[in-house]
Amino acid sequence: MSSAPTTPRDLVQAALRHEETERLPYNFMLSPPAERKLCAHLGLDDADAWIAPHLYFYGCSDKPLYARPEKYGPTITDQWGVVWATSEFDRGYPLGHPLKTVADLSSYEWPDPLAPRRWERVAASAQQHPERFRVAVIGDLWERANFLCGLDTILLALRERPQFVHALLERLREYALVTLDRIAAHQPDAVFLSDDYGLQRSLMMSPRDWRCFIKPHLLTLFDAARRRGCRTMLHSCGCVTEIIPDLIEVGLDVLHPVQPEAMDVLALKREYGLDLTFCGGLNTQQLLPHGTPDEVRQEVNRLGRELGRGGGYILEPGITVQEDVPVENLIAAVEAARGFEG
């Protein structure tokens, strides 16, 4: 057992060093409706201050993650030319894909990764919450290709137009590299790539295709992050069990959000717990929306004991907490995480 870390940042860093600690590092992300419900129930002005998560995320974009219809109208277009349906409840979904026809990339007008509008709030954001483990979001690769082309189109292109997919992912990697280089100047503790590869029971492509089209770009990005003194964090929903050895090989430090509905998180801990830190594990499809507060507390404590053994674990719901989660269950999860003593 290591000596007690003094700040949330220290606690997360100990977890990444695979040191077992008495307290449990945790993180909770809430959708706007879930946040409003929590604030109304507790009489809060700031849900984040009450939750006091150990991670702090910041990044750069000209489109808000949650664009509410009453402010932005029924649609909003991001810097990539992707038209999104706005939503009262979540991040919405893409309606218009600028590369829907898989046209020659030379005709596509690429956004400028250094556009001042992207960066106008980054310096101030990077200075907030120095007591937390600060994570800089650098963008996406496969996920962005999906948004640009549409999922059906990009999956077909793996077979029918592989050179197009290679060229598109190379350009997206370069965009992310420029972002990484600029944002690393603000000295984040880690950089974060959001890049969904998983379905509920498998990858959305073959492991062979993932290794061919995506793995080399992750290696380049993670190497660049390490050279700048940053840890690496990858978000992928769904089942990615088949490629976890590859993720370790390319230098991933933290896998997020580790959905227990899609993967056996205890088996992952046994198999890869010495090489990878897992962030997630708390069931959001059944337990949080349909369980009781006592069941939620019991599961938080079980995860803390089982996955926290030997370090390498940060507790978090398996996906952003939605409005369907009873506020009593959310409170139980946060209080159990906050009060956990291993």
Domain with 184 in it: what CATH number? Answer: 3.20.20.210
* In-domain check, residue 184: yes
At 32, give phi and psi (nearest 5°): -55, -45
One-letter identity of residue 193: L
Q: What is the pLDDT of residue 300?
A: 98
In 3D space, the residue among 276, 172, 176 whose CA is nearest the CA of residue 225 turns out to be 176
164-185 burial code (b ≥16 CB/10 A, e <16): bbeebbeebbebbbebbbbbbe
> Structurally, how many domains does the chain consist of?
1
Residue 82 lies in a domain: no
DSSP 8-state secondary structure symbol assigned to residue 4:
P
3-state secondary structure 266-298: HHHHHHHCCCCEEEEEECCCCHHHHCCHHHHHH
pLDDT of residue 62: 76
Amino acid letter for position 5: P
- Would you state the pLDDT for residue 102? 64
Is there a contact between 82 and 148 (Cβ–Cβ < 8 Å)? yes
67 part of a folded domain:
no
Per-residue model confidence (pLDDT) at position 105? 84
The stretches in the chain having pLDDT less than 50 are: 1-2
Classify residue 323: in a domain, yes or no.
yes
Predicted TM-score (pTM) of this structure: 0.95
| Residue 42: domain span | 8-62+99-339
pLDDT value at position 2?
Answer: 47
Residue 251 lies in a domain: yes
pLDDT tens string 104-113: 788 899 999 9
Q: What is the pLDDT, as a whole number, of residue 63?
A: 85
What DSSP assignment string belongs to 99-161?
TTT---GGGS-PPPTT-HHHHTTHHHHHTS-TTSEEEEEEE-SHHHHHHHH-HHHHHHHHHH-
C-alpha–C-alpha distance, residues 126 and 132, integer Å:
11
**What pLDDT, on a 0 to 100 scale, did the predictor assign at position 228?**
97
